[in-house]
Amino acid sequence: MKILQLNVWTGRIKGSLLKFFRENDFDVVCLQEAVWGDLPDGVLENFFVTVDQIKEAGRFQYESRSSNFSLQMSTGKMQQGNVILSRKEIIDERIESVYGENKPLESIDDLRNHEYTVQIVRLENGLNVVNHHGYWLPTPVGDEVTVKVMQKVANFVKGIAGPVVMCGDLNIIHASPAMRTLDFLRDLTEENGIENTLNSLKFNGKVACDHILVSPEIKVSKFEVLDDLISDHKPLAVEINI
Chunked into runs of 10 residues, the chain (242 residues) has average pLDDT values of 98 96 98 91 86 98 94 82 98 96 64 85 98 96 98 98 98 98 98 95 87 98 97 98 89
Q: Are 181 and 150 in contact (CB under 8 A)?
A: yes
Tell me the pTM: 0.95
pLDDT for the residue numbered 42: 77
Q: Count how many domains the chain has.
A: 1
pLDDT for the residue numbered 217: 97
pLDDT for the residue numbered 120: 98
CA distances (Å), origin 217, targets 13, 32, 123: 36, 26, 17
Q: Provide φ and ψ at 163, rounded to 5°.
A: -65, 145
Please report, for the domain that includes residue 25, its CATH number.
3.60.10.10
DSSP class of 169 = E
Q: What is the 3-state secondary structure (H, E, C) of 142-162?
A: CCHHHHHHHHHHHHHHHCCCC
Closest to 211 (Cα-Cα) out of 176, 241, 159, 162: 176
The boundaries of the domain holding residue 92 are 2-241
Q: Measure the CA–CA gap between 177 and 208, rounded to whole angstroms.
A: 15
pLDDT for the residue numbered 41: 78
Q: Tell how far CA 194 is from the center of its chain.
A: 18
